Amino acid sequence: MVSIEEVTVDVETIEGAIDFAAIFGYERPVEMEIGCGKGTFLLRQARGHPERNYFGIEWANEFFRYSADRMARWGVTNVRMARTDARHLMIHRVPVGSLSALHVYHPDPWPKKRHHKRRLFTPEFVEAAIRALRSGARWAIQTDHAEYFEVIRGLTAGRQELEPVAFDDAEYGAEGERTETNFEVKYVREGRPIHRLAFRRR
């Protein structure tokens, strides 16, 4: 049994750059999921890959508590979760080359023009995420929102640090075996198209 306190990390109490080895207590490849919602993807991946560490970021308190409680009940020891703004954390606190994978599934699209500034994907965020990925790391992005997808594509296209790769990957779950997120399940059931991108950091 793992306590919820062991799963959660208050990043406000840490000064400067995030030290993942100190947070987890041991050095292993770190995969980050931004906006993990109810934590289905994070939990399955963490259980399937005890040799990797998983750092989940969720802004909404309700989902953060729900996910952290889930991790604790399943007793996973390779997950830590922070309740914070992932864009700010990525730009200011995540060390260069510290991530072996970055998962962003169904980021809030903020469809109204006056809300676009709240979106996760900005030029600064993409710059910081590229910096944070170590060589060979994977960045997978998925959304149901066509216009936001074009924005994300525009921000990542032509970046020579990012080599486009297949979304389905044996290491991260091949087609049909890949862990679906809660939103993915819902939208696929509704017949909505899902847009996907994956990169390997050169």
Ligand X SMILES: C[S@@+](CC[C@H](N)C(=O)[O-])C[C@H]1O[C@@H](n2cnc3c(N)ncnc32)[C@H](O)[C@@H]1O
Any idea which residues carry the catalytic annotation? 108
For residue 23, what are its two tokens? Answer: 């947070």
Which is nearer to ligand X, 77 or 182 (by Cβ)? 182
Give CA separation, 194 vs 70, 162, 165, 181, in Å.
27, 21, 17, 12
For residue 154, what are its two tokens? Answer: 């525009």
Short-list 122, 131, 128, 140, CA closest to 200: 140
| Helix, coil or strand: residue 153 | helix
Asked if 45 interacts with ligand X (CB under 6 A), we say: no
At which residue do the structure tokens 């991790």 appear?
A: 71
Binding mask 172-201 for ligand X (x = CB under 6 A): ---------xxxx-----------------
Asked if 105 interacts with ligand X (CB under 6 A), we say: yes
Judged by CB under 6 A, the number of residues near ligand X is: 20
Adjacency order of strands within the sheet including 30-34: 8-9, 79-82, 53-57, 30-34, 99-105, 133-143, 195-201, 162-164
Binding mask 118-157 for ligand X (x = CB under 6 A): --x-------------------------------------
Asked if 63 interacts with ligand X (CB under 6 A), we say: yes
Which is nearer to ligand X, 88 or 202 (by Cβ)? 88
Which residue in the shown chain puts its C-beta closest to ligand X? 35
Query: Residues interacting with ligand X, by CB under 6 A?
Result: 34-37, 57-60, 63, 85-87, 105-106, 108, 120, 181-184
